[in-house]
Every structure is written in C-alpha cells, then in structure tokens.
Structure 1
Amino acid sequence: MGTRTLIIISSPELAHEALIQMGPVFANRPAELVTRTIFSSNMFTVNSAVHGPVWRSLRRNMVQGMLSTTRVKDFRGVRCNAMDRLVDLIRTEEETADGAVWVLKNVRFAVFCILLSMCFGVEMDEKAIQLIDRTMKAVVVTLLPRLDDFLPILGPLFTKQRKRAIEVREHQLRTLTPFIEKRRSALHNLGSNKIGSDFAYLDTLFDLKIEGRNSCPTNPELVTLCSEFLNGGTDTTATAVEWGIARLIQNPEIQSKLYTEIKSTIGNRNVDEKDVDGMPYLNAFTKELLRKHPPTYFALTHAVTQPAKLAGYDIPTGVNVEFFTPAIAHDPKIWSKPEEFNPDRFLSGNEDADITGAREMKMMPFGAGRRICPGLGMGMLHINLIMARMVQEFEWGTLPSKGKIDFSEKLEFTVVMMNPLQALAKPRAKK
C-alpha cells in the first residue's frame, strides 16, 4: 500500500503460529505513520513502543501498577458510582423523550468518567470532563490514516492537515498538563500517605524508571501515556455495549434469559461487579458479542524483530503484519453457523474459546501473544457490568418509528454502528 508493505493474516492457524508459537519474533511494531509520532511522543506508549526496554518498562508498570486484578478492584466504588450515574442519565433521557435513549453517548460518558478517575485521581466537574472528552475525540480523529502516510511524496499536499495535527497536539498538552500538575501537587501534600484508597495511574508514572534512560517521563510523555489509557478503554467498551443492546433488541429471548439469570443470582439489589463472574450466560453473551463485533477489523499492527518465515513466506523486518479479526471469528471451520448471534455456543462445551488465544486462535478481540491488550481483564469487567446493569434496570426495544435494527457498520476509531442506536428504554418495576 503505497510505500508500505502489508502482510495480512486471516487464518486462525497462522495467527496462532505467529503470535503464540513465534510470539517473541512477531512482538515488534513497525515505524509509525508520520502523524502518530506527534501524539505518541515518538512511540513512547505501551501499544506503540518497539519490542525492547522501553516497552517492557511501560507495560510492566501499566499491568502491575494499574491493571492487576487487585488494583482494578480498588476502583470498585468508582465503577459503582458511574453505574448509578449512567442509570440516572438514561432514566432522565427516557422520561423527557418518550422512552427514546441514545445508547452510545450515555455509555461512553460513564466509561470515560471511570477511566478519568482511575487515571488522574482528582475531582473534576462536568465542564472539565467535557473539555477532556472533546480533546480526546479530536486526537482520535486526527490520528486517522491519510494518503500521505502511505505515499510520503504527497506530503506537500497535506501541509494544512499536518499543521492541524500539531495544533491538536498543542491543545492536548494545554488541556491535560494542568491536571497532571494538580495531581503532582496533591501527591506532594499527601506525602507518605499517597498510596492507598487515594490512588491513580498517574502516580505510577511520575517517578517511573525506564530501562536505558536516566530520566523520568516528561510532561509531554505523561500526557501521551494518560491519553493512551483513556482512549484505549473508552470507545472500545462503549461501542461493544451499543452493539450488545442492539443484539438484545434483535433477540428478545436472549434479553429475557439475561434478566432471568440476574434476578435468580442477586434478587432485587443492584448488580455489583463481584456478581458477574457467577453469571455464566452473561459471560457467554459478552464472548459472543466480541466474536461478532470485535472492536476493530484489524488487531494493532505487528512487525517482526528479525527476518522470519510463516507458511513458507518470507516476513522481512519493517513491514506491517496485520491480523484480520473478523475472518478468524467467523471462520466456518471452527464455528458452527458463525453468522448467527448465539451466546449458547459458549455454554455447550463444544465451541468455547480462550479469548486470549493462548490455546488456539478462534477469536482475538484484544489481540494475542506478547502484545495482547493489557486492559483485557478490565475491559471484560466493564462490558459485563454495564450490560448486566442495563438489563436489570431497563427492558430494551425498538422505537416504533425506527423499525428493525440496522446492523450496518463503519470504521471510526472502532467499528461502530452506521446509524447510532436510539433505543426504547422501559424502566423495569422494582419488586
């Protein structure tokens, strides 16, 4: 594609061979698109760093310092408050619009609030939240590939776009740096009591030692790492929930099964995150949701650390190795009736899949191997919790004016519904 070589893998067997059996070899990243280097501080993020000391330091810190099971549980109260706020938002909207609710907008706001609290650990009012949200959206839009990324000779034709990218980056720095400094000051005032219930991802970054570097991350690098944390978990989760609500509307019997499981498991109290592991049908639903609607068409681009061979073909260093996730998740050789949305397939014992791809590659919504998404556990928790709470609180249906659900899709930052879902949310009676 232009001056870049793309190798596209759509075979489950070859994906497993590359990412699991030859994991260390296929664990690199290729050179970034020109625009993205502006926002990644020259590949100083967990996702973009080359396979080496910087990547090891950043990933180890994110996993151990923020995304471990224990640390994620520390933010249970944040998620509980966000779920209550989400329910209130939907109730208010449906009351004022004859039951009509925009699903993605409300869910995205709730998830973003959770991640903001986890990232910065400082109180933010509605105005600040919206400011950061707008800034993050502008970054995502600016990062979309352009023609000159693949044909650099056309660069002079895109000077306006490159100037705009620099302006967006400067605005991103101006927006986030004050919150970074506010947190730095708060930690200084807290002193030895800074680790405890009052904790944030940013705390792990201020004094982070990077292999091969003598200095801690700079403010622009801190902005980059915080932005990665926010963008990586917001749209992926919110988009999945929107597809999930659409599938519930399309399949009322699935919605009924979920509601019955919730009621029989916890009775009349609100769903809590500690409940979701004990709901097999909910977990099967989420797996099927991610099989049918992975966040993106392609896993994050890989590259090899040294020249390699795969299926008899030469894989040189520096080329883009792409994994086409829908072809794997819809492969009729490993799935029965893959075009159908059927959570029961994961309960039969015949079609269950390890979502990490470690045993065999049947689906890879979070990638696989050494560069698998470090937020897999948190992402699954958020989707399960939000879906459970939404089904517990509301019965979902189509608006009379809308007719059948349109499952057409388009690619933005994630694969979203072509027409954003406006659904009928009917509050369930509390018994």
Structure 2
Amino acid sequence: MPQIKISNSRVGKIVPPTPKPDGKPQHVFYRDDQLQGFGIRVTSNGTMSYFVEKRVNGKNKRVTIGKHGPITPEQARKEAQKLLGQMSTGTDPVVEKRERKIQAVTLRESYNAYLLARKGLKPNTLHDYKRCIEGALGDWLDKPLTSITKDMVEKRHSKLGAKSHARANNTMRVLRALFNFASEKYESQDGKPILTSNPVDRLSKSRAWYEVRRRQTLLTPTQLKPWYEATMLLNQETTRDFLHFILFTGLRRSEATHLTWEYVDFKERTFLIPDTKNKEPHRLPMSDFLEDLLKRRFLMAEKVWVFPSPVTNGPLKEPRTALTRVAELSGVEFQLHDLRRTFITIAESLDIPAFALKRLLNHKFSNDVTAGYIVPNTERLREPMQRITDYIREKVEAENDDLG
C-alpha cells in the first residue's frame, strides 16, 4: 500500500483509481506515514473511507471509521488512536460494536422481528398485538429490552388494570412472548442470551395476574324470538343474513365474513371455511335454512364475498351499529361471539354426540388418539346441523310466519 501523510490537503489531492476493465469499481488503500495502522480507502467512484488495521488475538482486523467529508482527517486520526489502543489490549472493536448493538435492541425492533418470524398471523391477532404493544406500551417502544425492569412491568400492569383487567393481562402476555422470543434471537458473542430473565415472570411469582372470568353470555331460548324479530327490522339485508348465518352455523365472525362463493357448493349442499383459527379447513353441511339463505344471496351476488361490505370491495366488517340497533329493539344485550356460544349450548342441550359437536365447531381432539384415525365425513354432520336449525326455528317461529 502507498504511504502518505493523511491530512486535509493531502487527501484532497488523491486521484481516484480507474475502474476495472469489466466496469467494476477499483480501490486503493493508502497508509498514514505517521500513525501505524491508520489509513484511507479510495474507490474509483470517488468514495474515501478512513480505517484502522491491526492484529487482534492473532487475526488481522480492519475497522472502518467513517467516510471522508463528514469526518475530517484530524477527527479520523483521533478515533484511530482510540481504536488502535483498544486493539492493542486484545479488544476487537467490531465485536464490541456488535455487542453494544445487541445490548441496545429495543422493544420496537424485537416486536418487528417477532411479527416477521410469526408468518401467517391472522388480522385479528395482529390488531390485538398492535393494541397491546403500540397502544398500551407505546412509550416503551424505543427503550432497550435490557432496560425494561420487573418493577416497570408490575407498575404498568397495575395501571392498565385500573381500566381493564383483561387488557392488562393480555398486554403482559404479549410482552412476555416478545421477551421469550428475544431471549432466543439475541445472543452475545459468546452465545449467551442478552436477557437473563423475563421481567413479566414477576406477575406469576407474585400472583399479580388479574382473575378474568370467561364471558358466558348467550341468547336464552326465550330471547331467540325477540332477537330474531329485531334482526328482521334491519334495513341492511346483508347484515341481517350475516347475523342469522352465525347463529345457525356457530362460526366465528372472521370465518363468516371471509366466506367467498368459490367455497359454497350447492350440489353437495356444503360450504368450506379454508382459513380457520386452528389452521384446519372446516367444511359444514347446509341445513334447509342455510341453503335457502345462501341461494337467495347467490342470486343477487355482485362480489366474491358471500357477505360483502356495502362501502368497500372487501368483506363485511363487524356491524356494530346494527348490533346496537338489534339490542335496542329486542332488549337483548349481546356480542357477536354470543351467537357462537348460543349455537354450542343448543347443540349440547340436544345431546348431540361430543365427536359431532367438536366437528361442527372445528375443535381439535388434542388428547384423543382414536380421533386421529377418523376421517371426517361432512354428511355425518348434516343431521346434527339440521336438528340445531329446527330447534332455533321452533323458538323463533312461534306465532311468527316471517321466517323464510
């Protein structure tokens, strides 16, 4: 390498090398004739970068200081002296920089990495994560994970709990998952995790989690008739059919809203939900009521969605205004998931076998070895589905001939 005195006047006179014959950039290294190990790298495109080079623990190490321009030769020389001094004691600046970067990983960086790693998360799950991390913990996003303490977690959990026990618990569960993810992803140079503990664990050890009882509300047999009559007064036919569809199928909201006509088979009298909570496709038979509903909707279909949005090209969103209207008209307070609970409760009251009920709800048989050898047959579910439909119709048709 040629030697020069790296100064402002001398560096300004350096002529960049010509590119290689194939057009690729060429580069030349100039060493400082006063400070051993200090130099500047010049490329054919005119870029010049300061560096230091020295053997550390038997290996040659080259560390870039920065580009000429933003950094003057004098500033680069001072930084070079500092780095060469560290390297003389066996410290590798590259490793040190990497260690500092790892130690400074923020909640935001870990959160983004977690979302990239968890491919296929459903929109509802992503929305929930966003509410927890970007909403409830938004002021922590740019804090290093290593700076988030057990005391901070405990205080924030208590603060969130003053408004909602469920949200406080859910937020900390998501945070716990992020810390567990980070402890596996981010390691120091010697392979040890940068996080030695999960600060959310304090909530378990101190028994600080809030007791949140699972919602058990549903439509009782006597509420079915006024609820149904109220839905018939809705101006939006799509919303009305959507509410009926959930009640008569027990599907989750997102499963029903994302149903498209390509998965409705009128010949076989079935419909398929390809994307479900447990990742397994869910095929159900049509009862007579569901067949009539779907055929009527198909005749006036203009979009791919069975229940399209009236304002966008996408599927119907949760019709909150309609839910409020039905509650006001019927005197029955309810949420969409209450309709699924109603379907389940009716099925159990009719003594539908557990295997058929689980298949209707698309629940997994996690502890049943025998179930793994049984191939689901949609036809076997047709009779139970029709029995549930008949029960609901019996309750809503009493002195009411409006049901089609």
TM range (shorter): under 0.3
> Quick check: which has more Rg, 1 or 2?
2
Greater relative contact order (Cα 8 A, min sep 6): structure 1 or 2? 1
Q: TM-score, length-normalised on structure 1?
A: 0.19
